[in-house]
């Protein structure tokens, strides 16, 4: 049974693809099967998600010869070794270049599987079936795939777009509250960088969203994916405005690394990082104190932190931020807010104001 289904298209010419969002989509084969090409499918999932949803996906896939690759759960398995395990199983099972590979899980599974699909026999058909809020609104859309290297997170990867993205909001019913809130940070991010009206809508509907009202979730995910699809359509390889999607991320990555991976979830660190970016924007005279309070109120309503951990020092922040991917020729660039719903990437910010934000 399905209720409202919303569909949008990421426009990349002959690599364009649909993003379908709605309740019960894992019971609707008509959205998936047109995108399965060739004779076999490979479903990549993990030990947490597979027991919950893999049978539903098998039912949708139907009569194709299917191979499951079930990986251990965790960011620590987002490695080249894990991608190699996928290749080994595919080669042992004689998967050819016409195989369709499906990622069933959160961003970790989506990133690993996408990179595997990009590389297996120089690229096979790939479908994203994201099951966390973060992966629905961010990682499954836009074609960034990859794995971590011991010397850096997401350092090995490829831009590789899927054939379609199927988002069943029902899968969020089994996601824990903390992960749901972490994903909400990325939803709020779209409002902050591109859509001030969306911020009002989120403030009004946050209770219902956290209670997992399927129609509200569909609307929030649709609006988020629409923003992401528009940004990626204009700047697929991040030559310019795609970097705006990293609001709060430079501070956030420093918090994640400084605290040790896993202690703060990515979305939690981004939430605190977005407040830091907003405070620096206030220091630049672009935001009012009331704007910053509004952002804090919304993040708090989503059960997200609004300040970095007290024990992180300015030096720690500066050291960790200096290895950010947005650093060019040794110059730190930050995403800041020009106004509510408008962001820029700039290296032209007041360093005393930054220091004030880091001191807290
Ligand atoms: P995750 O994939 O680790 O999922 C979080 C946890 O939820 C895991 O334990 C997972 O097994 C579990 N889970 C997933 N779906 C579930 C469900 N429906 N019910 C119950 N449990 C479920 O984390 P994430 O936040 O989805 O993704 C984080 C990853 O995404 C990071 O590796 C990050 O680098 C990457 N990322 C990539 C992009 C991109 O553009 N490619 C963007 C943002 C983040
Ligand atoms: N998560 C940021 C991007 O996809 O560009």
* Paired strand residues for 71: 46
As a whole number of angstroms, the distance between CA 228 and CA 130 comes to: 15
* Per-residue pLDDT reduced to its tens digit, 214-251: 999 999 999 999 999 999 999 999 999 999 999 999 99
CA–CA distance, 269 with 257 (Å, rounded to integer): 10
Kindly give the distance from the C-alpha atom of residue 284 to the centroid of ligand 1, in angstroms, as a whole number.
34
- At 344, list the tokens: 């820029």
Lookup: tokens for 304:
């997200």
- By most ligand atoms within 8 Å of CB, the mutation choice from 78, 106, 138, 217 for ligand 1 is 106
Q: How far is CA 355 from CA 127, 139, 183, in A?
A: 44, 31, 28
Q: Is 228 tagged catalytic?
A: yes
- Taking the C-alpha atoms of residue 21 and residue 23, their distance in angstroms, rounded to an integer, is 7
> Does 253 qualify as catalytic in the annotation?
yes
Task: Output the CA 70–ligand 1 centroid distance in Å.
Answer: 15
Structure tokens at 13: 């010419």
Contact call for residues 127 and 120 (beta carbons, < 8 A): no
Q: Is the CB of 189 under 6 A from ligand 1?
A: no
pLDDT value of position 23: 97
Q: Which of 189, 266, 279, 333 is catalytic?
A: 266
Residue (of 167, 179, 155) closest to 217 by Cα position: 167
Q: Is 121 helix (H, G, I), strand (E, B) or coil?
A: helix
246 is known as an active-site residue: yes
209 near 185, Cβ under 8 Å?
A: no
Which residue in the list 20, 78, 238, 279 is annotated as catalytic? 238
149 catalytic per annotation: no
Structure tokens that stand for 226 in this block? 């629409």
∠298-7-30 over CA atoms, to 5°? Answer: 135
20 catalytic residue (yes or no): no
Q: 75 CB less than 6 Å from ligand 1?
A: yes
Coil, strand or helix at 146: strand
Q: Residue 259, class by beta-carbon neighbours within 10 Å (0-12 exposed, 13-18 middle, 19+ buried)? A: middle
Low-confidence ranges of the chain (pLDDT < 50): 1-2
Does the beta carbon of 111 lie inside 6 Å of ligand 2? no
CA of 289 to the centre of ligand 1 (A): 33
pLDDT of residue 55: 98
The answer to whether residue 212 is catalytic is no
pTM over 0.95: yes
C-alpha–C-alpha distance, residues 167 and 4, integer Å = 12
Give residues with Cβ within 8 angstroms of 351, minimum separation 6. none
Residue 2 confidence (pLDDT): 46
Across 282-356, the runs of DSSP E, i.e. the strands, are 334-339, 342-346
Where do the domains of the chain lie, and which CATH numbers do they carry? 6-174 (3.40.50.1970), 177-359 (1.20.1090.10)
Ligand nearest to the CA of 10: 2
């Amino acid at each position: 049974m399905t209720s409202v289904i919303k569909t949008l298209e990421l426009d990349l010419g002959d690599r364009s693809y649909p993003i379908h969002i709605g309740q019960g989509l894992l019971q609707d084969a008509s959205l998936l099967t047109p995108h399965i090409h060739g004779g076999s499918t490979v479903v990549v999932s993990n030990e947490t998600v597979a027991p919950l949803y893999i049978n539903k996906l098998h039912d949708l896939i139907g009569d194709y010869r299917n191979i499951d690759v079930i990986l251990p759960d965790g960011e620590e398995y987002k490695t080249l070794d894990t991608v190699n395990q996928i290749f080994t199983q595919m080669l042992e099972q004689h998967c050819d270049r016409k195989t369709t590979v499906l990622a069933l899980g959160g961003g970790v599974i989506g990133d690993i599987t996408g990179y595997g699909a990009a590389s297996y026999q120089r690229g096979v058909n790939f479908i994203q079936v994201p099951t966390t809020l973060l992966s629905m609104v961010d990682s499954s859309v836009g074609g960034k795939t990859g794995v971590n290297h011991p010397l850096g997170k997401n350092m090995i990867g490829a831009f590789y777009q899927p054939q379609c993205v199927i988002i069943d909001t029902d899968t969020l019913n089994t996601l824990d509250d903390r992960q749901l809130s972490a994903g909400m940070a990325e939803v709020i991010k779209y409002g902050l960088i591109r859509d001030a009206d969306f911020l009002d809508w989120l403030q009004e509907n946050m209770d219902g969203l956290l209670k997992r009202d399927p129609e509200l979730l569909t609307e929030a995910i649709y609006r988020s994916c629409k923003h992401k699809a528009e940004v990626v359509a204009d700047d697929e390889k991040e030559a310019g405005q795609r970097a705006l999607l990293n609001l709060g991320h430079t501070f956030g990555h420093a918090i994640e690394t400084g605290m040790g991976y896993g202690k703060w979830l990515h979305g939690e660190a981004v939430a605190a990082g977005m407040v830091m970016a907003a405070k620096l924007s206030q220091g630049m005279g672009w935001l009012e104190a009331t704007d910053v309070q509004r952002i804090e109120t919304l993040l708090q309503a989503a059960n997200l932190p609004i300040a970095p951990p007290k024990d992180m020092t300015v030096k720690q922040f500066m050291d960790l931020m200096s290895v950010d991917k947005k650093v060019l020729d040794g110059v730190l660039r930050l995403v800041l807010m020009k106004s509510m719903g408008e962001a820029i990437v700039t290296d032209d910010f007041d360093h005393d104001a930054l220091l004030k934000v880091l001191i807290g």
